[in-house]
Structure formats: C-alpha cells, structure tokens
Amino acid sequence: MLREERFDHIISLLKRDGKVAYDLLSAELNVSEDTIRRDIETLHSNGLLAKVRGGAILPSRNPLSFQNRTAYLTEGKDVIALKAQQFIKKGQTVFMDGGTTICAIAAHLPLDSNFRVVTNNQALIPILSKFKEIEIIVLGGVYNRNTETNTGVKTCEEVKHYVADVYFMGTCAVQSKFGITAAINEDGEVKQAMLNSSIKKIALSNTEKLDGVHSFKVCDMQEIDVLITDIPSDDSRLDAYRNLGIKLV
Amino acid sequence: MLREERFDHIISLLKRDGKVAYDLLSAELNVSEDTIRRDIETLHSNGLLAKVRGGAILPSRNPLSFQNRTAYLTEGKDVIALKAQQFIKKGQTVFMDGGTTICAIAAHLPLDSNFRVVTNNQALIPILSKFKEIEIIVLGGVYNRNTETNTGVKTCEEVKHYVADVYFMGTCAVQSKFGITAAINEDGEVKQAMLNSSIKKIALSNTEKLDGVHSFKVCDMQEIDVLITDIPSDDSRLDAYRNLGIKLV
DNA sequence: ATTTGTACTGCAAATAAATGCAAATTTGCA
DNA sequence: TGCAAATTTGCATTTATTTGCAGTACAAAT
C-alpha cells in the first residue's frame, strides 16, 4: 500500500467522522501506530488536519477556497507543473520568477518538498506557505500590481546575492530564432539577473506562448538548458528547439 | 510487448484505480521493476501522472488548501488605525513593519491615499493593492510563516536604502522604563534599522501590549516621537509615557 | 502517588530509489 | 540483408527513505 493511499484513507475517514485515532487506524491499515503517527504528522504540517492527543480532528476552520486555485490550474499548466517537479532535488536552491505557470508548479509540489525558494513573485508566498519544509526567501523591490512581482534595480541587485541550482523561468514568448522575449522590461531584467546567477536554466512555456515574440529580449534560446511545455517532448512542433540542443520535456 | 503498450496499460490502470505500484505492474507485464520505474519516469516527465514512493498516482490527488488572511480587524485596532491616518501626508514615504495593527491601518485608509509604503510585511501587500495611488516597495529577506514578514540581514540592509518621513512601528510590548521590546529578535532588528532611517517614529500599541516586556530590546521610549493607543490620550494609564515627553494620541 | 495510555528518541531492519554496467534489442543506413 | 550505433532492458551495487521496535519521558486519569 502506498503512503498516499494511507493519506487518502485518513483524510476521508476524517471527513466522515470528524476525527481519527492512532490505534484504530493502525489496526485498520495494518501498519504500526508509529507510521500512522508520522503520516498524521505530515498531513498536519501541511495544514490538512489538526493533531490532538491520540489522533487528529478536522482543522478548526478549513476554507478550501477553490476560487483561488482555479486561476492557475488550467490544463496545460498542470502538465508543465508535474513535468517540472523532477528537476528539484532536496536541499537545493531554486529561483522562481513571476507568472501563473510558476504558481502552478508550487501548487502541485509533493507535500513534503524540502528546498529553498528565492523569488520575486508575491503570489507565490501564500501558496508556498503550506509547505513547511520549504524555505522562502523574498526578493524585494517595487511591487507591480498587475504581475504581482517585485522588480527594479534593487531586485536585480538582490538576485546577485544568491546562486541557484535551478531557475524556473516563466515566459511570455519563446521563439527558436529570437529567443525568449518579455512584454515588460522590468520583468525581463529580473529574468536576466536570475539567468546570470543560476546553474540549470529551465524555461516553461505553454503552446500559446510558443513561437511568440515580444519586444524586450531576455536571452537567446541557447542559454536555456531545458524547455518544458505542455505537449509531448517528441512533438514535431518542438523540432526547432531540439535542433538547438535544448533538452525538451 | 512495445513500450507504448506498457504506457497504455499503466495509464488505464491508473485511471481505473487512481494509483499504480511498481511491484504489481512488474509482475503483470513481465518486465523488471526498473523498466516500470523508467516508464513511469517518462510518463511523469510528460506530465501524465504524479510519481510517489512505490509507484504513481493521479495528478489531481494533491489536496491543498489556502489560508485566509482576515483576522486583523478587531476592536482596538480600528481605533488605532483611524488615529494613525493623520500622520500620513500626500507624497510621503512611510515605513510599515509587521503585525496585524499595521494591517488594520492599511485596511482603513481612504481610497485615494497617495503615498509610498516601504514594508517587510507580506500580509500588507494584498491589502494595499487596492489603493491604486499607493506605491508599494517590498523589502525582501527570509520569509517567516508565523509573522508573515521578511527578516534577516538582507532586509536590514535594504532598509538603509530608504529614508522614511514616517515610521509606523507595530509593537509586541511597550513599557515606560524598559522601552519597546520584541519577542523575536529578527523582527526587532528590522525595527531598529527602520528607526535609524526614519524621521518621525510612531509606535502603535493596544492596551494589552502596554506595559508589557519581551526579551529583545528594540529601543528606549525616548526614541519614539508618538505613541498611538486605543485608549483616550489623556488616560492616566499613559502618564508615565507623557512624562517622557512622548506625544500621545 | 500510581497507573495507564500517549508522545518522542534513536536505532536497526526492510524497502525503495538511483547509479553504473553489460547484454539484448531495436534502429538507421549502406 | 548486414552491420554499426543507439536505445532499451535487467542486474548488481550503492544510497536514501521508510518502518517498526525498544526505551524513555510525559501527561492525564484514577
């Protein structure tokens, strides 16, 4: 039985009865009480239940607000988010910039993700807060209401204080010849700073953005190590990028 | 059996049961577990499933709830918030640090407020966002889930880049003899940095915090220009502060 | 105060994942 | 078809994680 199955079982029992107990769960699932204890600890540290002596109960107020989720959990972004996970290893430092695709990655992370995020994306903070093992470092700067990011000279300066193992770059437009381009130059400048301070550079693009162009050039395609899209990696639409030696996922 | 056939098999099994396990698949398809592992790795990197220890599950099974942030509008804080407004003039630069009292100030501002806020308070951003004329500058740093503030050396460094006309300091404990003290020293350090870079220093305290003491000393009372509380300014409980020459509101 | 059930710690065994390598298989091309 | 190159597969080894257990500390109930 997978650990996740036990999670499901615990949660659904909790929803049915309002409470669960270590001893009963242990007998029911044929694992030791310690294991149940650790499961409940994990679920608790992700805010899915409230731990009490002898078991767990439903959290006092559980506002499973789905309105919030829907904004960035659309088809293609789901796929990109799942594909992205494999590039994050425990203990690493990860740059994440702005955009809803980046938020989708965060929303789909495994419950026990353990790494450090350095970001200028304000919308990411409440999402990441749920993952208790993730260290969140915020890059300050001038806040932009539309993009929900902090940008400007200060932000770019801040970026230089870090070296990231991985950089997940949300993109506005990706094109094999003109490279990656942005609509807002403040955002583009942060992207350039992050490129300069990261080891593995991963660009994220859904099909609509693919082969698009904006006016502010961020970088050439060759600077990118991996391109994650919402279509199968062997799709012919990606041939131009494959020929540039970019790993496609 | 072709690799694609195995893929099909895995996916349909996943759709039927919501999960698949390496060992079962291996036995069922007569290939080694390593092969199944690699198949699932491939499917994962195409975003078709979510990998977990021992197998894989459907991507949708990641239940995440989102926190609400509306616990900052209580009694005394309303009063303090309204009293605070008079100190902000159009075009000024204002430091605002952490705490729910600060959030209350923001929530009560007139809609046409026009000034610049420099803050390390993440909870403040969504509140301030609705005031279109307010420029928001975020101070980055290490994000603290409990206080919803960014703190640390980087934050303090950032503060030095600004000079504020007014600093609204949220307090944990205020006492005429021991001055202002904080429970968390990271927060205290940011407060000290802000004190050093601001012209008018305004401390905010509700009656519960008044005359309290914590272990990290932020500053003496004499450093404060104005003390805003939720009780009338001529209340005898404030005599000790009045005698120190602090303006009471 | 004593008893009973619960929680935490460290540890060792079991289990799973990642890695490297060689054999087997498929593919591309003349 | 024949052959080399590339890919896939299974296996052995190493590394990491999970699990159950024993001991102990702790808290509540009698």
* Tens-digit pLDDT profile for residues A203-224: 999 888 999 999 999 999 999 9
| Cα B220 to Cα A27, B101, B197, distances in angstroms | 59, 21, 16
Residues A48-77: what's their mean pLDDT? Answer: 59
**pLDDT of residue A74 exceeding 70:** no
Work out the angle at residue B220's Cα, subtended by the Cα atoms of residues B215 and B223, and round it to the nearest 5 degrees: 140
**pLDDT of residue A36 exceeding 60:** yes
**pLDDT of residue B65 exceeding 60:** no
Cβ of residue A133 closer than 8 Å to a chain B Cβ: no
Residue B207 pLDDT grade (very low, low, confident, very high; cuts 50, 70, 90):
confident
- For the CA of A31 and the C1' of D16, the distance in angstroms is 21
Tell if A16 CB is < 7 Å from nucleic strand C: no
H/E segment holding residue A244: none
Please tell me the predicted confidence (pLDDT) of residue A72.
41
Residues B53-59: what's their mean pLDDT? Answer: 85
Superfamily of domain B75-248: Translation initiation factor eif-2b; domain 2 (3.40.50.10470)
Taking the CB of residue A177, how many other CB atoms lie within 10 A of it? Answer: 10
Please tell me the predicted confidence (pLDDT) of residue A121.
97
Residues A30-34: what's their mean pLDDT? Answer: 90
The fold adopted by the segment(s) B3-57 is Arc Repressor Mutant, subunit A (1.10.10)
Give A51's contacts (C-beta < 8 A, 6+ positions apart): A40, A41, A44
Please tell me the predicted confidence (pLDDT) of residue A71.
39
Please tell me the predicted confidence (pLDDT) of residue A75.
64
H/E segment holding residue A170: strand A164-170
Question: Distance from A129 to chain B by nearest Cα, in Å?
Answer: 6
| ipTM (interface predicted TM) | 0.80
Q: Which of B181, B174, B173, B205 is nearest to B77 (CA)?
A: B205
Contacts of A108 in chain B (CB under 8 A): 50, 59, 62
Tell if B34 CB is < 7 Å from nucleic strand D: yes
Residue B149 pLDDT grade (very low, low, confident, very high; cuts 50, 70, 90):
very high
Mean pLDDT of chain A: 87
Please tell me the predicted confidence (pLDDT) of residue A68.
33
Please tell me the predicted confidence (pLDDT) of residue B69.
25
> 67-106 in B: which are within 8 Å (CB) of A?
67-69
Interface with chain A: mutation pick from B46, B49, B95, highest number of A CBs within 10 Å: B46
Please tell me the predicted confidence (pLDDT) of residue B61.
36
- In this complex, the residue of A11, A110, A150 whose CB is nearest that of residue B138 is A150
In the 228-247 segment of chain A, residues within 7 Å (Cβ) of strand C are none
What chain A residue is nearest to B139 in terms of C-alpha separation? A140
Rounded percentage of chain A residues whose pLDDT exceeds 90: 44
Tokens in use for A205? 């693009």
- The 10s digit of each residue's pLDDT in A122-155 is 999 999 988 888 999 999 999 999 999 999 999 9
**pLDDT of residue B59 exceeding 80:** no
Cβ of residue B146 closer than 8 Å to a chain A Cβ: no
Tokens in use for A84? 């992205």
Please tell me the predicted confidence (pLDDT) of residue A167.
95
Tell if A35 CB is < 7 Å from nucleic strand D: yes
- In this complex, the residue of A2, A125, A140 whose CB is nearest that of residue B19 is A2
B45, A249: Cβ pair inside 8 Å?
yes
**pLDDT of residue B67 exceeding 90:** no
Beta strands A93-96 and B116-119: pairing type? unpaired
Contacts of B19 in chain A (CB under 8 A): 2, 4-5
Mean pLDDT of chain B: 88
Question: Distance from A220 to chain B by nearest Cα, in Å?
Answer: 24
Q: Which residues share a beta bridge with A136?
A: A117
Q: Which amino acid is residue B7, in one-letter code?
A: F
Q: Which nucleotides of C are covered by protein (CB under 7 A)?
A: 5-10, 15-20
Residue B78 pLDDT grade (very low, low, confident, very high; cuts 50, 70, 90):
confident
Task: Count chain A–chain B contacts defined by CB atoms under 8 A.
Answer: 142
**pLDDT of residue A243 exceeding 80:** yes
Please tell me the predicted confidence (pLDDT) of residue A69.
33
End-to-end CA distance of chain A: 30
Cβ of residue A150 closer than 8 Å to a chain B Cβ: yes
**pLDDT of residue B128 exceeding 90:** yes
Residue of higher predicted confidence among A171 and A113: A171
- For the CA of A45 and the C1' of C10, the distance in angstroms is 22
- In this complex, the residue of A61, A69, A143 whose CB is nearest that of residue B138 is A143
Contacts of A63 in chain B (CB under 8 A): 65-68
**pLDDT of residue B7 exceeding 80:** yes
Domain ranges of chain B: 3-57, 75-248
Q: Which of B127, B126, B121, B169 is nearest to B149 (CA)?
A: B121
- For the CA of B239 and the C1' of C23, the distance in angstroms is 90
Contacts of B125 in chain A (CB under 8 A): 122, 143
Question: Distance from A35 to chain B by nearest Cα, in Å?
Answer: 15
The fold adopted by the segment(s) A66-248 is Rossmann fold (3.40.50)
Please tell me the predicted confidence (pLDDT) of residue B62.
38
- In this complex, the residue of A62, A143, A249 whose CB is nearest that of residue B65 is A62
Tell if B54 CB is < 7 Å from nucleic strand C: yes
Residues A182-201: what's their mean pLDDT? Answer: 95
